[in-house]
Structures are given as structure tokens and as C-alpha cells.
Structure 1
């Protein structure tokens, strides 16, 4: 897989160029605690990198989900909407939030590698 990370604690899996998956990192879900609700973006809506694309609420707090790359939302994870705890139990797998058709694939290259993200979260 080709996974990169944003400073806002989202991950991007660009191994499928037709639909790049986006979710929150394990670090983010650890900080949030038990996720109880997710507000996912609308399919067909286009976002710029850095735009707020959704909200995740936990027993501790609510947090915006930022679009790590520019593109059009082509799919949302309805299973996550029905069972928000997937963001805790499998944040990098079944707990994905949405898929995006990239408008600028080069933006993925600007995101952090796993090693760089791990260093970033230790700071």
C-alpha cells in the first residue's frame, strides 16, 4: 500500500488511483477515545486540501476531519456511519472515512511517510 499521513492526523492510501482512501490515524483515534459519531462528506462534492470534510465525535471531544488532498468525494464508508467504533477498532482498514478522486496527485507526495509521521507525533 502507498500510505501517507497529514499533519492533521489523516491517512491517505493512494494505491488505487481511481479512489484514494482517507481516514484518521491510530494516533488520532487514541487521542479522541471512543468514537460515537461521524459526519461524512457528501458524495460528488469537491474539496481543496485543508478543507473541513467531516467531523468525528468521541466521548471526549469533537474534531474536524480535514481533506488531506484535493479532489472529489466518490464514496463514503456507510459501515462507519452505522458503526462509528470502526474508527477505533480498525482505523487504517475498515474504519476508512471516504474515497477521493484526486485532482492533483502530486499533493500525495507532499504528505509524510509513516516514519516521518511517527517522528511528528513524538514531538
Structure 2
């Protein structure tokens, strides 16, 4: 095993993940070492396990962030849709407080009353 992999294994042994990342944990390839001794094999397994765990965690973080972005985008789209519907509803309400059928019935009733009234 080369010095970098030994340093990685030592950093991981004392649970110094920041140092291991600085030394290149995510890019380490201890499985490429040919004919390692028994001690180096154990260290390589530790490095491989830590690397794979960290890559899984980073992948999970990316998936979480992507999901949060999608949910935020959907919420924004719903809010825009609701705001547009509220504007359309208020525009209709401003032109007539009554539904069209009721307004027509009221107009007919007013016309009927006006026709029955004698001129003054």
C-alpha cells in the first residue's frame, strides 16, 4: 500500500473524516493495490468501506436536495395558479355580484314591475 492509503487508514482509525477527505478518500482506489499484506488488506477494507459510505451519503444528499427543489417548484406553481384564479374570480365579481342567471331573472322582474306601474 502506498503512503496516501496508509495516511487515509490512519485518519479513519482516529475518526478524522475531514482529514481523510482532504487526503482524497473519495478518489482512493485501495483495491488496485497488488498483493497487499494482511495488515494492508484490513486497512484497505476500512478505506473502501468509508469511501463507499461517504459516496452513498453524498448521493443521498443530492437526491434530497433535488427532491426539495422539485417540491418547492411544485409549491410555487400551485401558488401562481391560485393567484391567477383569485385574480380571475375577483374580476368576475367586480363586473357582477350576481351569477348571470340570477342577474337575468332580476332584470326580468324589474322590467315586469316597471311595465305594471302607471306613468306619473
Using structure 1 for the length normalisation, give the TM-score.
0.18
Identify, as 1 or 2, the structure richer in strand.
1
Identify, as 1 or 2, the structure richer in helix.
2
Q: Which structure has the higher relative contact order (CA within 8 Å, separation 6+)?
A: 1
Larger Rg: 2
